[in-house]
Every structure is written in structure tokens, then in C-alpha cells.
Amino acid sequence: MDFEQMKTQLLELLNNRTLINATISQPRQKSNELKRVKLKPIDLRGVYTIQIEYQYERILKHANVALEEFPTHLEALLEQFRQIHAEFSTEKVHIQLSKKNKVLWKSDKTAEIKQVNLSHNRKKQYLLDDATAYPFLIRLGVQTEDGKVKKQKYDKFKQINRFVEFIDDSLEYLPKDRQIRILDFGSGKSYLTFALYHYLKVEKGFNIRVTGLDLKKEVIEECNRIAQDLNYDDLEFLVGDINDFNEETAVDMVVTLHACDVATDMALARAVKWGAKVILSVPCCQHELNRQLQAPALDVMVQHGLIRERFASLATDAIRAELLSLVGYDAQLLEFIDMENTPKNILIRAYFTGKKPSEEQRAKYNAFIQFLSATPFLENELRDYLQ
């Protein structure tokens, strides 16, 4: 078999869509910074696609390539590497190339036909696999250089995966015909911001532009450096708070994590006014209702400071979810991570549906607010939308 015959036969196997995975290795030049390349088929919004993972010394890069465009990429890879291990549904193929492109082709056919898995998930329980190296997790210190989750960071890894599950559940509400605009208020060290970007951009192939906003200048500068090193071109971090951000007139997704007290309400109000299709919010430090609460019928319970604080926190999030429902969102309160890891484990998830509230729903909300003697900040912010 000569070189051209090898390419033809290999492309024929690929065109049959029987690829399970492949590794291209042994660089022709020792100076080549690209050490190996891995291939796997994925279903990208209904289109059969080859995902190419470029493995450099310290970082990984990904590209999703349509099958009809893959021959050009294969040509470039064969110029750089001399070995291919590929597994197809009915056989395993090993290809070794000499310096002058003489071909050694070995095929191990199997009687057992394997199923081609086009899912992005390596393991059912995690959307981000704990046995796969992710450049952003390595840079953020969650994984070691060889892709193992650090023992002391496993809770953070689980939190990231839980957040990615919420992102995955939200995909149907995001636009498919244009760039998706996403804002993250209070991004902090940005573990979840990077996870959001990686999952939507790299894993799912969405056209997105993400901005993280935080008040800590040093943290923002470091996050921008990491984004640049990872070639996350559509991810930026800016110094500022929710009130000062006036750069946008429309946003598709708003994420707000641990914004303190009414800062969460400011972010929720902004999201509504921007017409956000998806809102994901993990509140923090709900003091507003605690200060206002006057409900004699609850005195037996709320006379205790600890209980009063917890009740006010839960009631505040229930009020926020109900207000979002009253302005056209399908809003839910969900457990973010296990209570044993942090008490701040409630996530408000809201999808815009445009559904009009019933008079009964409005009446129940008003009765609850009157019972607590509350004047919620968010209600005042959304007054024009509650008419």
C-alpha cells in the first residue's frame, strides 16, 4: 500500500462514520510543540462532526470539524506525524509511516461490532469527565498537569460539574441563529465562568461572547491572562459592579454567583430588563428581609436569631423566584451543591417563557408579602414589569 492508497482507505473508513476514537502521534520533527492529536466523533447540534484535540506540552486545544472538511486537516496532520492508532466499530487500525512515507498498515478485525458513541459525555455522572485533562481546570489548579483532579479540589470539581449540568439544561432556551451574549456578575476567581465558556464553546460549539465582572482588579487581571493563554478569544473580564455596567442593551444569559444581599436583586432586575432568556443565580447574605420582618404569628420561630436568619434567607429566595414568575419566567429553586459543602447551596434558575401570571398567583404573592410586612427591593426594581 502506498501513501495515497493509505489516505484513501483511511478516509473511506472515516466517511462510513464508524470511528470510535483515534490517536495521531510520533512527530516527524522533535522540535514540534504539538505532541499528539486525538480524534473522536461527536454530534454537534445534529451534525456528525470530528472533534480534534491538539495536545501540546502544557495545553490542549480543540477544533470541531465537519466530516467533509476533515480531509484537509488529515493532510496537514500526516505531514507532521508518522503514526496513527484508530479504532472503528468493526476493526482496529495501526498505521506507521517511514520518513519517506512508506506505509505499514495493520488491521485487527473483530467479530464484535462496537457502538459509536457521539455523546460528549465520557461518564454518565459527569459532563466534564474526571479522567480527562481540561486546560482551564489545570490552569485554575483543580487538575494536575496530567489531568487528575486534585484531592483537595474534588468538591470544587463536583461544584463545577453541577453548574455545567444547569448550563446543559438551559441550551434549548438559547438562540441558535446568532452569537449568544452572556454576562457573569461577581465572577471572582471564575471557576464557573471558565467552565461555562469551555462547555458552550469547546464542547457544544456555540457562538458565544462572555464577560465576567468583578470588583477585584488583581483577580480580573489574572483571569484575563488565563483566558488569553487558553485562546479563549470570546471571554473577557472587566473590573466593575452591577450598577456601573451599562455596556449592553440585550443579553441572553445572566449568571450571578454569591452577590451579597440586594446585589443579587440588582442582577436579577438587570437580567429581566435586558430580556435574558436564561438566569442562573446563587444568592448570598440575604439581610434585607431579616431587617424588615414583622410577622407576630412567626415570633415563636423567629425570636431565635439563627432561625430568623435562615427563615429570612429562604423566604427571600422564594420571593425572588415568585417575582420572576410574575414577569414571565419559569423560575425554580434548586440545590446547587450538597449542604455539607456550603449552606449557600440554593440556585435560582429561570427561563423566559412569556407566560402571563394568573390573578390568583398575584394575590398569593401579595398576601405573603403583607404577612411578612416586607417591601422587597426586587419588586420595586421590577414595578414596571409587574403591571
Question: What are the pLDDT tens digits along the chain (387 aa)?
Answer: 889 999 999 999 999 999 999 999 999 988 888 889 999 999 887 889 999 988 886 577 888 999 999 999 999 999 999 999 999 988 999 999 998 889 999 998 875 667 777 765 444 457 888 888 999 999 999 999 888 999 899 889 988 999 999 999 899 999 989 999 999 987 778 899 999 999 999 989 899 999 999 888 999 999 999 999 999 999 999 998 777 788 888 899 999 987 777 888 999 999 999 999 999 998 877 788 888 999 999 999 999 999 999 999 999 999 999 999 999 999 999 888 643 444 567 899 999 999 999 999 999 999 999 999 999 999 999 999 997
Q: Would you state the pLDDT for residue 339?
A: 39
Q: Would you state the pLDDT for residue 340?
A: 41
Q: Would you state the pLDDT for residue 285?
A: 76
User: In this structure, are residues 184 and 256 in contact, taking their beta carbons and an 8 Å threshold?
Assistant: yes
Q: Would you state the pLDDT for residue 120?
A: 55
Burial of 14: CB neighbours in 10 Å, binned 0-12, 13-18, 19+: buried
Encoded amino acid at 357, one letter: P
| Greatest distance between any 2 Cα atoms in the chain | 89
Domains, the chain, ranges and CATH?
A: 3-109 (no CATH), 135-385 (3.40.50.150)
Alpha-carbon span 112 to 110, nearest angstrom: 5
Backbone angles phi, psi at 155, to 5 degrees: -65, -40
Which cell numbers in the block locate residue 139? 490552569
User: In this structure, are residues 192 and 163 in contact, taking their beta carbons and an 8 Å threshold?
Assistant: yes
Encoded amino acid at 196, one letter: L
Q: What is the DSSP string of 3-63?
A: HHHHHHHHHHHHHTT-EEEEEEEEESSTT-SEEEEEEEEEEETTEEEEEEEEEESS-EEEE
Say how many C-beta atoms besides its own lie within 10 A of residue 160's C-beta: 27
User: In this structure, are residues 237 and 212 in contact, taking their beta carbons and an 8 Å threshold?
Assistant: yes
Q: Would you state the pLDDT for residue 338?
A: 45
User: In this structure, are residues 209 and 180 in contact, taking their beta carbons and an 8 Å threshold?
Assistant: yes
Q: Tens of pLDDT along 283-297?
A: 877 788 888 999 999
Q: Return the HEC string of 150-185.
A: CHHHHHHHHHHHHHHHHHHHCHHHCCCCCCEEEEEE
Burial of 184: CB neighbours in 10 Å, binned 0-12, 13-18, 19+: buried
